[in-house]
Amino acid sequence: MGGMRINGDAESLGASDQVIGGLYSAGEAAGGIHGNNRLGGNSLLDCVVFGRVSARSAARYLSAANIRYVESMKAGTAVASKL
Residue 23 is predicted with a pLDDT of 92
Q: What is the mean pLDDT of residues 4-12?
A: 88
pLDDT digits (tens, 9 = 90+) for 21-68: 999 988 777 765 665 556 666 667 777 788 888 999 999 999 988 888
Q: Return the H-helix or E-strand segment holding 44.
A: helix 42-75
| Per-residue burial over 37-47, b = 16 or more CB atoms within 10 Å of its CB, e = otherwise | ebeeeeeeebb
In eight-state DSSP terms, residue 33 is T
Q: How far apart are CA 19 and CA 25, in angstroms?
A: 12
17, pLDDT greater than 60: yes
Q: How far apart are CA 20 and CA 13, in angstroms?
A: 6
13, pLDDT greater than 70: yes
80, pLDDT greater than 60: no
